[in-house]
Amino acid sequence: MNTTPNLSPSLESEPLPYRVLLYYCFTPIEDPTALRNEQHALCIELNLRGRIIVASEGLNGTVSGTIADCEAYMERVSQDPRFKGIDFKIEGAQGHTFRKINVRVKEEIVHAGLPHLKPYQKTGKHLTPAEFKSLMQNDPNVVVVDMRSNYEHNLGKFKNALTFDMENFRELPEHLAEIEHLKDKKILTYCTGGIKCEKATALLLEAGFQDVYQLHGGIIKYGAEAGGEDFEGKCYVFDGRVAVDVNQVNPTILTECYVCGTKSDNMVNCANPTCNRHTVICQTCLENLDGGCSIECKTHPEKRPYDGSGKYERVSNGYNPEIGFRQQARELRKSKEETH
């Protein structure tokens, strides 16, 4: 059984040794803890790294690994009847884009603060990248709405898209009044990989919007299948790459260097951990300031060594991948004791 999705032309013509998988599936999960343990063991077995969230409403993950390991993972997950038809967005990479595997059980697979909404019951109409592009470019009754946070859409967004001034997705309900007057329009929503739009369009339908659509597979799939046309800037991603190119047709740069104001899309963190400003700084300024965002940060006694990238690993939150196996072992022993 071959469940590997078609790779984009860029992956076929310039093969890279690793893959980054972005995926989700809204489906009822009776025992999230059991699924969490299954996913954890599978990723350890296949040497995958990344972040996976399991909840009673489904599965959401971003992982990296070798081509063979990622193909094995996709096949194993797709064989689970609960995830039949799951859509994997695939990108090439030079190596792992995460340090370790982190699998957690949470109330929602996307932190929206809307656990009552079940996208597998009701959500906006899915559009392929080609359908989204056609409506966006040719239908005058269409309004394109970005469902991402400020730091994401400030780096890149679709041309003429409406954005919300929000720090995180949980704030979305507070901003619906801003588009209340557009209820007679076709609302085209989009996000990075599609998952936020599942909840966002369900919320719009609940609020009385009638003609609601979502870009299936999000910006990542649009870039791979539609060339990224009319997406301005770069797409923010939640792994070690921070930002990726999307538009192969008419690319532009939206952002400016925080230090000098020149056009740049080099998203970094300040090397001073007490500042840790997450912003755009051009390579020249970054080198002049030795990874800092100011003279003060350059000379700060706690400044991290600048390695040329401007990207620093997050401080560990104490998650230990082996804890999952110890938990599984205890549960298996307990189960055996109860049956004997």
How many CB atoms neighbour CB 193 within 10 A? 25
CB of 90 within 8 A of CB of 5? Answer: yes
Residue 16 CA to residue 94 CA, distance in Å, equals: 6
Strand spans (E) along the chain: 18-26, 49-55, 58-66, 87-93, 101-105, 125-127, 142-146, 156-158, 186-190, 212-215, 231-233, 235-236, 243-244, 267-269, 278-280
Chain Cα centroid distance, residue 181: 29
Amino acid code (one letter) for 134: S
SS3 151: helix
In order of 2, 72, 331, the CA distances from 42 in angstroms are: 18, 10, 17
Number of H helices and E strands in the chain, helices first, is 11, 15
Catalytically annotated residue among 70, 191, 257, 282: 191
In the annotation, is 275 catalytic?
no
Q: Which residues are catalytic?
A: 191
